[in-house]
Amino acid sequence: MSIAPIDSIASLSSDLFYDILKRLDGPALASVACTCAAFCSISKEESLWENVCASVWPSTNREDVKSLISSIGGFRKFYADCFPLIVNKEVGQYQWNNYLEYPDDWTEAEYYGDTSEFESITPSDFVSIVDIRFKGKSICSKVLSGIPNANDNGGWFYNCPFRIDLLTYADRDDNNDDEVTLSVSDGLPPITSMERERKDGKLWHELRDGLFLSWILVNKKIKQAANLASWSPLDGQRHWPTDKDFVIRFGSVLPAKDILPSQVVQCILVMKFRVVHIEEEGFETTLKLTELSMQLEDMEGAHVNGKNSLHILKEALSCRRSKNYSEVIESCHMYSKVQNELKEEKMRSESRLDTLCILSGIAAFMTFWYYVL
């Protein structure tokens, strides 16, 4: 069999190029686009990036999500904005002495910032696009338009702790409206009793190591998007608050400069599973997703209110990102380290104050009896 010689790569059909590129993932497609003009031109096709986005985020197959992505710049821009994760290196510059407390004499305008700027931010501008995978398999895709129970004209939302419970308010036209469950057929190890699980933690380790979360926040007004999750879990807690519950936390560190005294906050994404069946009950081991929520906390562990959260989330959509996953995780761990140091310093400070108060009381008592006697 003879093989026809090829004079140059430019002589190949563009359809052949397209067929090659559509088989690549996002990073490979971006790299190939830099090799030659032909690949660069074809790699700009929106259909290629639509396929890439669908493979990473199954929720982008929804027609309403496709329309949303097209309205904010297309799938290529969406991938470039949401595949890299938010990284914040300013955490390492944080020092206890530099931490500013909320002044008691701050006016509402000083606390909340420029009112005219805030009026341009409304809860209805935001859309949450959430995907969960377990060992590479998609188990849940949810889309939430706006922020639940938040009136654009103000009210309790702006002054109460910010929180989104996705399972309660996600759009009901999702393909998987039923309960989200994981079982042995999905890759979970079978467990015969909770007592044995407490000892070896086999189910817990498989669950923590296999989960993958993406929580993309889109602002329709400013046409920006960002992934607030950390892909893999940052930490977790097993057998809490009950023996059959597993809590897993994802998240990111967001800038809050000129919004909060701490200058940075943590976006905490909580995923909670409950054991509903074990092998000794005559069923295969099954877990049910009972919570999927978002909240923001400052350095002292206080929940950020709704009004400041809208400012922070808007700023997060344009902050620095990185494709270096280890760099992202390092910034999250640095935040936890600094937060723990802050708590320890406060405990030492309070302990010194308590000791001073006790000594002052003893001195006052002895002085009183000295003059009495």
Position 8 in a domain: no
99 lies in some domain: no
- Bridge partners, residue 288, by sequence: 181, 274
Instruction: Verify that 57 and 192 share a domain, yes or no.
Output: no
Among 72, 21, 73, which Cα is nearest to 51's? 21
User: Using CA atoms, how far apart are residues 163 and 159, in angstroms rounded to an integer?
Assistant: 12
Contact 279, 184 (CB under 8 A): no
- Which residues are 182's β-sheet partners? 287
For residue 97, give the 3-state DSSP assignment. helix
Given this model, what pLDDT does residue 178 score? 65
Q: Is residue 88 situated within a structural domain?
A: no
Whether residue 174 lies inside any domain: the answer is yes
Residue 220 resides in a domain: yes
Cβ 272 vs Cβ 245: under 8 Å: yes
Alpha-carbon gap, residue 360 to 215, rounded angstroms: 53
In a domain, 364, yes or no: no
Residues 157, 273 within the same domain:
yes
| Residue 371, domain member (yes or no) | no
Query: Is 59 among the domain residues?
Result: yes
Residues 311 and 249 in one domain: yes
How many domains does the chain fold into?
Answer: 2
DSSP letter assigned to residue 303: B
Which among 107, 81, 112, 93 is positioned nearest to 312, based on CA atoms? 112
The residue assigned the tokens 């998240």 is 251
Q: Are 269 and 242 in contact (CB under 8 A)?
A: no
Q: Are residues 70 and 188 in the same domain?
A: no
Strands (E), the chain: 85-86, 126-134, 137-145, 163-165, 181-183, 211-219, 224-227, 235-238, 245-255, 264-277, 286-297, 321-322
Q: Which helix (H) or strand (E) holds 312?
A: helix 306-316
Range 36-57 burial, b when 16+ CB lie within 10 A, else e:
eeebeebbebeebbbbbbeeeb
Same domain, 128 and 173: yes
Same domain, 284 and 338: yes
Amino acid identity for residue 47 in this structure: S
Q: Give me the DSSP letters along 164-219.
A: EEHHHHS-TTSTT-S--EEEGGGTPPP-S-HHHHHHH-HHHHHHHHHEEEEEEEEE
Q: What are the tokens at 78?
A: 């969406």
Task: Please say which residue of 37, 67, 83 terminates a domain.
Answer: 83
pLDDT, one tens digit for every residue, the chain (373 residues): 444 454 455 556 677 777 888 888 888 888 888 888 877 888 888 999 999 999 999 999 999 999 999 999 999 999 999 999 999 877 655 544 444 444 444 444 444 444 444 457 888 899 999 999 999 999 999 999 988 877 655 578 888 899 999 988 765 445 445 689 999 999 999 988 888 899 889 999 999 999 999 999 999 999 999 999 999 999 999 988 888 999 999 999 999 888 888 888 999 999 999 999 887 767 889 999 999 999 999 888 889 999 899 999 999 999 899 888 888 888 888 888 887 787 777 788 878 888 888 888 888 888 887 787 6
Note the Cα 171 to chain centre separation in Å.
19
Cβ-based neighbour number of residue 118 at 10 Å: 17
pTM of the full structure: 0.83
Which residues fall within 8 angstroms of residue 111, CB to CB, at 6 or more apart? 102
Burial of 5 (0-12, 13-18, 19+ CB in 10 A): exposed
Q: What is the CA radius of gyration of the chain?
A: 26
- Residue 122's nearest CA partner among 311, 315, 319, 269 is 311
Domain hosting residue 58, numbered range:
14-83
Nearest to 128 by CA among 112, 110, 140: 140
289 lies in the same domain as 225: yes
Residue 127 and residue 47 share a domain = no
State residue 159's pLDDT score: 85
Tokens of 118: 């805030």
Beta carbons of 84 and 249 less than 8 angstroms apart? no
- DSSP reduced 3-state for 259: coil
Q: Do residue 240 and residue 340 come from a single domain? A: yes
